[in-house]
């Protein structure tokens, strides 16, 4: 099996938590490989998967454009590279954003046919945690952490609902790309990172 090399976009946001979670899962599954920080185009070479973390979508977008990796990420995704986007990462994966997104001038990656609502739950003080049943993860609930979180208003085409809370879409999936409006890296539950790594393992390598 090819040695894993999982990238975490390290321009801004909750980077170290994703790195730690991915390393723990790789160790648990007995997999050889490494987790690398992606700060320039060259860091995307030969990666097996990519995490776009939570943070500030406007800032991450601006920095992606500045270092010239936006088009490379789109190309890799279209080549079936598994990608996990959380919170701000989910916003960036979307095809459409609400007026808040438009006002910031954020240029979305457009990899998933979905519309996102930025800061749908309000400000930082409105952050919350809740147990959610996610069918793909089994019968045990997953503790979801929402911090200035977006909501996925709707999905269409090949993009499908992956998780919901109170009739709001909090997770969507399209082929190799998974978008979550919450922060799985801020819990001790590694099931989502394990799900992502197992997605990587299923992708044929050339």
Helix (H) or strand (E) holding 200: helix 191-202
Task: Tell me if 58 sits within 8 A of 104, measured CB to CB.
Answer: yes
Per the prediction, the chain carries an average pLDDT of: 92
Does the annotation count 18 as an active-site position? no
Task: Look at the chain and count its residues.
Answer: 206
Q: What does the pLDDT look like over 158-180, one tens digit per residue?
A: 999 999 999 999 999 999 999 99
State the average pLDDT over residues 119-143. 84
Distance between CA atoms of residues 11 and 115, nearest Å = 24
Whole-number pLDDT of residue 204: 66
Flag whether pLDDT at 206 surpasses 60.
no
User: Looking at residue 109, what is its pLDDT?
Assistant: 96
Q: Which two tokens stand for residue 146?
A: 């929402």
Residue 124's pLDDT band (cuts 50, 70, 90): low
Question: 194 catalytic, yes or no?
Answer: no
- Identify the residue with better confidence: 99 or 23: 23
Give dist(CA 119, CA 110) in Å, integer.
19
Q: How remote is the C-alpha of 143 from its chain's centroid?
A: 17
**Which entry of 17, 18, 56, 87 is annotated as an active-site residue?**
87
Interval 49-65: pLDDT, tens: 999 999 889 999 999 99
CATH number assigned to the domain covering 4-202: 3.40.50.880
Establish whether 99 is a catalytic residue.
no
1 pLDDT more than 80: no
Q: What is the per-residue pLDDT for 101? A: 77
Q: Which of 18, 165, 183, 193 is catalytic?
A: 183
Exposure of 181 in the CB half-sphere (CA atoms within 13 A)? 32
pLDDT over 70 at 120, yes or no = no
Per-residue model confidence (pLDDT) at position 203: 75
Residue 70: CA count within 13 A, CB half-sphere: 16
pLDDT band, residue 104 (cuts 50/70/90) = confident
| Model pLDDT, residue 51 | 98
């Amino acid at each position: 099996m090819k040695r894993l090399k999982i990238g975490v976009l390290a321009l801004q946001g909750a980077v170290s938590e994703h790195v730690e979670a991915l390393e723990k899962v790789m160790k648990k599954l007995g997999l050889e490989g490494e987790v690398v920080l992606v700060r320039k185009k060259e860091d995307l070479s030969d990666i097996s998967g990519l995490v776009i973390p939570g943070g500030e979508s406007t800032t991450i977008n601006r920095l992606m454009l500045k270092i010239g990796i936006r088009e490379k990420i789109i190309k890799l995704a279209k080549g079936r590279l598994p990608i996990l986007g959380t919170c701000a990462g989910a916003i960036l994966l979307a095809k459409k954003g609400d007026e808040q997104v438009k006002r910031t001038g954020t240029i979305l990656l457009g990899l998933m046919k979905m519309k996102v609502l930025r800061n749908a739950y309000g400000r930082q003080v409105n952050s919350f945690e809740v147990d959610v049943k996610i069918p793909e993860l089994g019968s045990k609930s997953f503790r979801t952490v929402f911090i200035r979180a977006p909501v996925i208003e709707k999905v269409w085409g090949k993009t499908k609902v992956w998780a919901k809370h109170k009739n709001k879409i909090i997770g969507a999936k399209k082929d190799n790309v998974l978008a979550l409006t919450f922060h799985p890296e801020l819990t001790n539950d590694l099931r989502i990172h394990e799900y992502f790594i197992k997605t990587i393992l299923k992708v044929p390598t050339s």
